[in-house]
Amino acid sequence: MTTPQISIHDCITGETITREMNAAELAQLELDKAQAEKDAKAEAKIQKALTDKRQTILDRLGLTADEFKTLVSAL
C-alpha cells in the first residue's frame, strides 16, 4: 500500500507541493477515520431510534407510512 499524500498549494506563488504524509499526519488520519466511523454509528443509532418512534406512533394511529404521507400532503 502506498502512503497517502498531501498537496499544499501556495496561493501567493501558485506553487503546489505534493508529498507523502509523515508519521504524525498518518496517526491523525487514523484517529480521524476512527472518529468518523464512531460518529456514523452514533448517527445510524439515532436514526434507527427516530424511525422506530415514528413507526410506534403510526401503529397507534393505525396508519401506514404511505397513508400518513398522503394525509400530510393533502394539507
C-alpha cell at 69: 404521507
Question: What distance in Å separates the CA atoms of residue 55 and residue 64, rounded to the nearest whole number?
Answer: 8
Q: What is the mean pLDDT of residues 54-66?
A: 93
Q: What integer pLDDT is reported at residue 3 of this predicted model?
A: 85
The pLDDT-based confidence of 75 (bands split at 50, 70, 90) is low
Q: What is the mean pLDDT of residues 1-21?
A: 92
| Helical spans, DSSP H, in 6-22 | none
Question: pLDDT tens digit string along 14-45?
Answer: 999 999 999 999 999 999 999 999 999 999 99
Q: What integer pLDDT is reported at residue 18 of this predicted model?
A: 95
What lies within 8 Å, CB to CB, of 58 at 6+ separation is: 64, 65, 68
The pLDDT-based confidence of 2 (bands split at 50, 70, 90) is confident
The strand pairing partners of 70, in sequence order, are: none
Domain residue spans of the chain: 5-73
Q: Contact 18/7 with Cβ under 8 angstroms?
A: yes
